[in-house]
Structure 1
């Protein structure tokens, strides 16, 4: 059995419903019989995960690992069968989904702040308008009602 020694995507990219994990030198290594083999991007270099179905889209991708002059070429579907890769991928996927959720939350907070600022600016313009037109009734409504400032 192969063990994943280290797996860290060089970069990840979210594309619609897919999460693309791209690997480079020194970011992916496996251990076989107490020997560590380093990933080399000679053939395949990415894993594409469908975030809706949680399925790997490119199972035929061939990964190459090297130790000295020896190489291990293994298709992704086989690597999933003979190693603990699925555990590592689920951890990476959870982290990516948490980050996506956090970014959406942050965007919502930012949008809420922007709406509040626009409402405040609009209120100030309406007060200025009431003063310019000497509209006491409008001015009174704006200053006595709920103020956004």
Structure 2
């Protein structure tokens, strides 16, 4: 069995629901029988992963590794079968998932803040009405009219 020693994509591109990982010299190496082989981009140099199914799409891509004058030439499907490359791919793709989930978390946080501001605004109106504070009520109404909604200005 082959072991992936190092696997760092030189470039990572997201195209729709696919992640394209591009590899270059010194960024991908495998170990076979205690010999370290380094990737050389003479044939294939990219791995395309579908982000929804987490399946590798370009299984026929051929990767070439070199140590001195010895070469290992492996189609991607065979590399997936005889090595632990899938663990490294999960780590790389996991980094993208964490980034995307961070963006989603930020968007949901902003929505929660908007909802809380609206609820606070409505409580302020209730407070003004309860205490018969016409000046505060008018000020809140003007704020509502100038913003086109219930959002309170950031101060």
TM-score normalized by the length of structure 1: 0.74
- The residue aligned with 1:88 is 88
Describe how 1:94-133 pairs up with structure 2 within 5 A. 94-106=94-106
Query: What is the alpha-carbon distance in structure 1 between the residues aligned to residue 16 and residue 63 of structure 2?
Result: 25
Tell me how far 1:9 sits from its aligned partner. 0.7
Cα distance in 1, alignment partners of residues 151 and 63 from structure 2: 62
Alpha-carbon distance in 2 for matches of 1:108, 1:147: 17
Q: Which stretches of structure 1, 4 residues or longer, exceed 4 Å deviation after superposition?
A: 107-113, 139-142, 144-147
User: Within the alignment, does 1:148 sit opposite 2:144 as a pair?
Assistant: no
Tell me, in whole angstroms, the C-alpha distance in 2 between the residues paired with 1:21 and 1:14.
Answer: 9
| Distance in 2 between residues matched to 1:11 and 1:144, nearest whole Å | 52
Q: TM-score under structure 2 normalisation? A: 0.71
Cα–Cα, structure 1 residues 64 and 144, in superposed 2: closer, same or farther, change >3 Å?
closer
Task: Name the counterpart of 1:60.
Answer: 60
* C-alpha distance in structure 2 between counterparts of 1:72 and 1:59, whole Å: 17
- 2:8 pairs with 1:4: no
Q: Which runs of 5+ in 1 are unaligned?
A: 116-136
Instruction: Tell me the residue number matched to 2:27.
Output: 27
* Count of aligned residue pairs for this structure pair: 128
